[in-house]
Amino acid sequence: MPGSRLDQLIPDDIDRALTRLVRMSGVSKKALVTDALRGYLVAKGVLPASTSRVEPTPTRGRLAASKRKESQ
């Protein structure tokens, strides 16, 4: 699905929590943030609930590598 790029700084505590969730779930930050933002916008009534959800994608970056190392 094509999209627009969004580059924003987030507070360190949120980034750390998001990174932990990526390591625990194996789902990419992009998928987690998109899903959370979609839920927020639907709850606020500015996005129809019928919009398609993004299927979580396994992370392939350095967080995935660190998860593999921890499990060995």
The 10s digit of each residue's pLDDT in 44-60 is 999 998 866 666 666 66
User: Does residue 27 form part of some domain?
Assistant: yes
User: Does residue 3 form part of some domain?
Assistant: no
User: Does residue 2 form part of some domain?
Assistant: no
User: Does residue 7 form part of some domain?
Assistant: no
What integer pLDDT is reported at residue 27 of this predicted model? 92
Number of domains in the chain: 1
User: Does residue 26 form part of some domain?
Assistant: yes
Q: What is the pTM of this model?
A: 0.69
Contacts of residue 63, defined as CB under 8 A and 6 or more positions apart, other chains included, come to 19, 22, 23, 29
Q: Which residues span the domain enclosing 34?
A: 12-67
DSSP, res 40: H
User: Does residue 45 form part of some domain?
Assistant: yes
